[in-house]
Amino acid sequence: MENPLFINNAISFQSRSSFLSLPLLIPALKTPTKARERKLIYTISKFYNISSSSGTRAMPSGEDNGAVRNFKLNESTFLASLMPKKEIAADRFVEAHPEYDGRGVLVAIFDSGVDPAADGLKVTSDGKPKILDVIDCTGSGDVDTSTVVKADDSGCIVGTSGNSLVVNSSWKNPSGEWHVGCKLVYELFTSTLTDRLKKERKKRWDEKNQEAIAEAVKQLDEFDKKHTKVDDTNMKKNREDLQSRVDLLRKLADSYDDKGPVIDAVVWHDGEVWRAALDTQSLEDEPERGKLAEFLPLTNYRLERKYGIFSKLDACTCVLNIYNEGNILSIVTDSSPHGTHVAGITSAYHSKEPLLNGVAPGAQLISCKIGDSRLGSMETGTGLVRALIAAVDHKCDLINMSYGEPSLLPDYGRFVDLVNEVVNKHRLIFISSAGNNGPALSTVGAPGGTTSSIIGVGAYVSPAMAAGAHTLVEAPPEGLEYTWSSRGPTVDGDLGVSISAAGGAMAPVPTWTLQHRMFMNGTSMSSPCACGGVALLLSAMKAEHLPVSPYSVREALENTCIPVGGSPEDKLSAGQGLMQVDKAYDYIQKLHAVPSVRYQIKITQSGKSAPTSRGIYLREADFCQRSTEWTVKVEPKFHDDASNLEQLVPFEECIKLHSTGEGVVKAPEYLLLTHNGRDFNIIVDPTTLSDGLHYYEVYALDCKSPWRGPLFRIPITITKPQAVKSRPPLTVFKGMSFVPGHIERKFVEVPTGATWVEVTMKTSGFSTARRFFIDSVQISPLQRPIKWESVATFSSPSSKSFSFAVEGGRTMELAIAQFWSSGVGSHDTTSVDFEEIILDGSEAPVRVDAEALLLLENLAPAAVLNKVRIPYRPVDSKLSTLSAERDQLPSGKQTLALLLTYKFKFEEGAEIKPYIPLLNNRIYDNKFEAQFYMISDTNKRVYAMGDVYPETAKLPKGEYTLQLYLRHDNVQYLEKMKQLVIFIEKKLDEKESIQLSFYTQPDGPVIGNSSFKSSVLIPGAKEAFYVAPPAKDKLPKGVAAGSVLVGAISYGKVSFGVNNEGKNPEKNPVSYSVSYIVPPTPIDVDKGKGSSSTCTKSVAEQLEEEIRDAKIRVLSNIKQSTDEGRSDWKKLSISLKSEYPKYTPLLAKILEALISQNNFEDKIHHYEEIVGAADEVIESIDTDELAKYFSIKSDPEEEGAEKTKKKMDTTRDQLADALYQKGLALAEIELLKGKKVVDKEDAKAVEGSSTQPDLFEENFKELQKWVGVKSSQYGTIFVIRERREGRLGTALKVLSDMIQEDGSPPKKKFYDLKISLLEEIGWAHLVSYEKQWMSVRFPPSLPLF
């Protein structure tokens, strides 16, 4: 036993003026992360915490399940500790009943995907296939294969990637139709695997690039040696070209960004089933490997149970499933090792090392991937619902789900409704992890810890696990619950945790990890441990023909557990205790004649009809200071197929009610319960209780069968808070003694007016490092529990300070837990406040009344507007019925999808986040089934995608489309969403952000005096100041009226740690939302005043111009997509040219139309037409007059100067465009003819001469006079010129600069040109690199939802 650690804790509460609004919760994490990462860490990392240093307080575990003092390991006990089974008595059960090892049981694993090639997951203990199906329920691996092609005579087809593919001649395809699609392979891989591949691919790329650099440097060196003096212009250009090559290669080495290769997919029907194959050449080192024809064709895994790998480099297993008549190929990979690990704990089978077997090695599995690879393994509504559909379709017995998150409402939501149907109607047993958000109370996650029909599992660690799996030098003397395992009760009083099981294991992982197994711990591991234990029970029940019901199995589990911990309150941590398979089996054997019933509990406070709860949770001070009466309604619930006459009518139970705390909780003694249920009252009187946590139960025993134990339990949790009466408010906890795993819970009534807490931790009495969780939780109506958490490590006795927000007037729990291998004393204070101020766009300031309620306070307001929120309505909506293959619910209803399309544009690059108030931030407690969005540019490149937790995305300037995808089976719900408003929230640059000003008088913003900076508030005294709206000239450019500027405001400073000079209120522990509605733009009263000139043209002349312009508009609107349209356009253009032969705008429109044509047969003739049209434009312009105008600086104040400038600028642009298009056409003609184009007249004039006039060069020099030929607008002509001269390095350099300068969504023609230059120069590695990027920048289509 380690020496106890003594901690002195002092909590001081800080107050700031309170305002109308709900609290803003921004919880700190144990490891600071971005907002989006919080969700990922909770559902993934925290649900499979891989740390081996976590610990919990010591608790007796009972019997011999790992609770051995002075624990010592040998080889066999060490191996057994890596896959714990003794803790839940699974080893004893299988030893006694070897045939009941899970055989005949099918388990659905709802997780990140299971690798069918993983060690131990190929066969069962009796030689049957282990995994019967592998499904990607999220759609993240879906490939659009709706494009159908036919092979040519040589057996080649063209994939959607543009690659030529050779099909295997032995493949049967009676129709001759091949469905093709493609996918960026990194979209299928985990970030870990992608990082490994990137490193290996970068290494190979660097080698090739270094070779190219060496060759380029050699050429430059040889040039310098050969030409010691470079005076000639061409020689200088040649040297610049060689230098550009070197510079370009070095620059590319620094900017290298591997987006991964593209794989082609081909789907066909072989006359019996759909089959698919992949071309993975781009992943292979050797050019002859990975070809399509070499891939072993696969069909849906369910049919043949075969899988493939992409390449030896990645070693990643893939499964192919085909849907929708060959139009969708699902490439199934796992989104993390988590799912395979979970599956291995449940049922891995190792014939050579049985100690490493999973809990139920005879059980079979289906893998339902709910972790979306597009979202870093986040679960989605689509994935969850499809997984339930698959579990029912496969007639599974069990579901394990090691995923979850905090929820707003317990036991509520679309997914919960469907789970209830699956459990109650189809009799599946659903087991899920309770969460890894402990040690504070009310931290259980959804759905495992908050859903009545799901068995939520906490995480337990035994001395054997600590010594073996965790490799601790000294194991704890007794088993205990892990510190981070989430605790109950739920916010509506339910226990939260049902049972506990071993929460860590060394289990199989996917082959791409390049290892057989890995150690992970978390409730993600305890859930499959429990699931495996239940599989053993079901195996026995099926073999002995006992009826299987989730209700009876749950009763057996909960009533045969070994208690973990010695106090009643420990049930909030471990549920009913550590499950015991053998005892549950004995219980079930005696229970088989008893009707399968679950008891639904609904509790209301007497005299009230709402809200209803599943337990009694007295947390706030008011409820803890008086006696309260509660009405309990108990309703027996049978399975949906129960017989009215044979089961419901005869049901009658005489029940004896017991209270575990007679002095506090009083209930009737007896109850006669029938099928229609019964009400009774409970009185709870906590007035005599001491401050702190108290837990009681009212439980029911069957008078005729008391051996069954409790039929139902009513949990009563009381957290009586300590009042803070001192002023200034200060709470001190002295002399708290800690040993490894110990948890101290302090409950404090946060004073009204307090908004944050400042905490100081002082430690003493230890010599080695100590580590602590410090958590704070408050519960507020219709909010997720307000949680702050931190980890503090003390290397020596010292003190640390923290500050965090609290909500005044509510009970705060402060939980301090020492890890089992470290010890710390801590001193914490917490305080929260939130407020929203809305500025309405007028000049009037908003008054703020500030009051210090507790102690002297420094009032120092700071406010900033740093985001703009712009509303959008959809421009299009499409409602469709989804395929029955994946989206028909167990009830038979068909799922519908609504696709909403939004358009927006940015003139500059922006950092944005979509915001959907109705749907965001809720998965499990949301009545809508699913939501998913994609943001793409005009090239169909996807820049961002997400679901309920939108992420910030950086977008370059340009036009964008946001598509929002919603799913439900109720068409009326979706119809109501067709005009759903979304907001695009754009982050303002620092220079655009607006610091708001404060004044002591309401006229201050207009007059400019009476500014307010700071003051000291005296308790009880009020002080007012005014928040001024932003000045209109400070508003960001381009912000439309009706948009909302949003930001934050704070009113004070903490006494330590934060010093931002009042510029950033968001850095304070408590800040509030502030917003400003952008008003209409002021009317420009000066507009039009400066123009005193009048039109000098006659009415007839004006009419003639209007007619001319109307004719040109008609010409522009003629569609040339048909022969008739082209004929009409040609006739009208000839007619108008004869009528207005020198009118430049007409000639420019004709040139523009010719350029846009793309359905011509004679290319040379077409480009010659463009040259002719360009010449007509050029000849229509008086270039001398134009040159004279731009050579003289005109007076902008001169009458008509602005109009003249506009006309001349337009004329110059028309001239430049004509010269530019002429140059491009001449280059194309040269390419087609294979020789330079010369003017026929000039050629005759120089006949017999050694030189021929170069029409392209002459045109280029003329263009050079008017515009910068290296700009993104005209630079292509410069690149072509350099290429003609053989200066490919210079051409590439200019082209690269053009691409970077352009900034808007990339132009495909630039990149096509770049690839052709790289091919010509011979840099194959760069050609391959750029071609891979083409699939990113210019995908053939948008991805599927």
Q: Contact, 84 vs 578, CB < 8 A?
A: no
Beta-strand relationship, 910-915 and 754-764: unpaired
Angle CA(163)–CA(169)–CA(170) in degrees, nearest 5? 130
In eight-state DSSP terms, residue 542 is H
Determine the Cα–Cα distance for residues 244 and 34; give it in Å rounded to an integer. 41
Residue of 15, 81, 91, 111 marked active site: 111
Q: What tokens appear for 761 in the block?
A: 């931790």
Under 8 Å CB-to-CB from 512, ≥6 apart: which residues? 115, 189, 190, 193, 314, 315, 316, 317
In eight-state DSSP terms, residue 1054 is -
Q: What tokens appear for 318 in the block?
A: 């893939």
Query: What's the length of the chain?
Result: 1345
Residue of 338, 350, 675, 1325 marked active site: 338
Determine the Cα–Cα distance for residues 1103 and 750; give it in Å rounded to an integer. 80
SS (H, E, C) 927-993: CCCEEEEEEEECCCCEEEEECCCCCCEEECCEEEEEEEEEEECCHHHHHCCCCCCEEEEEECCCCCC
Residue of 112, 524, 527, 613 marked active site: 524
Amino acid at 1135: S
SS (H, E, C) 235-298: HHHHHHHHHHHHHHHHHHHHHCCCCCCEEEEEEEECCCCEEEEEECHHHCCCCCCCCHHHCCCE
Angle separating helix axes 1288-1302 and 233-255, nearest 10 degrees: 50
799-805, strands of its sheet edge to edge:
730-738, 5-15, 754-764, 799-805
Residue 958 burial (CB count, 10 A):
18
Provide the phi-psi class of 1255: left if phi over 0, else alpha when psi is between -120 and 50, else beta: alpha
Angle CA(1326)–CA(1328)–CA(1331) in degrees, nearest 5? 105
The answer to whether the peptide bond before residue 489 is cis (omega within 30 degrees of 0) is yes
In eight-state DSSP terms, residue 642 is -
Compute φ and ψ for 1121, nearest 5 degrees: -80, -15
Residue 41 burial (CB count, 10 A):
17
Cα-Cα-Cα-Cα dihedral sign, residues 496, 501, 506, 510: negative
Task: Clarify whether 627 is annotated catalytic.
Answer: no
Cα-Cα-Cα-Cα dihedral sign, residues 1210, 1211, 1217, 1220: negative
Say if residue 1110 is exposed, middle or buried (CB neighbours under 10 Å; 0-12, 13-18, 19+). exposed
Amino acid at 970: N
Under 8 Å CB-to-CB from 481, ≥6 apart: which residues? 56, 57, 59, 458, 459, 460, 461, 500, 564, 565, 570, 573, 574
Task: Clarify whether 426 is annotated catalytic.
Answer: no
DSSP 3-state assignment of 666?
strand
Determine the Cα–Cα distance for residues 386 and 1181; give it in Å rounded to an integer. 67
743-749, strands of its sheet edge to edge:
722-723, 743-749, 811-818, 770-778, 786-794
Under 8 Å CB-to-CB from 519, ≥6 apart: which residues? 50, 52, 82, 469, 504, 505, 506
The answer to whether the peptide bond before residue 447 is cis (omega within 30 degrees of 0) is yes
In eight-state DSSP terms, residue 485 is S
Determine the Cα–Cα distance for residues 800 and 802; give it in Å rounded to an integer. 7
Task: Clarify whether 338 is annotated catalytic.
Answer: yes
Q: Contact, 948 vs 965, CB < 8 A?
A: no
The residues carrying an active-site annotation are 111, 338, 524
